[in-house]
Amino acid sequence: MLLRAKQKGVIAEVKPLLTALAQVDFRIAKPLIENALRLAGEL
């Protein structure tokens, strides 16, 4: 969803949102985060 939102111009960056989710203990596997950031061009 975050990648699609970035592609559509709804959000500028994925990383701050993934960071915010991690801070509230939303569990996302590190490889998934890295892949999402890579696909978003933020890694």
Give which of 17, 18, 14, 12 is closest to 30, Cα–Cα: 18
**Averaged confidence pLDDT in the chain:** 96
Stretch 2-9: mean pLDDT: 97
Stretch 2-7: mean pLDDT: 97
pLDDT score at 20: 97
Stretch 19-33: mean pLDDT: 95
pLDDT band of residue 9 (cuts 50, 70, 90) is very high
Task: Count other C-beta atoms under 10 Å from residue 15's C-beta.
Answer: 14
> What share of the chain in percent tops pLDDT 90?
100
pLDDT score at 8: 97
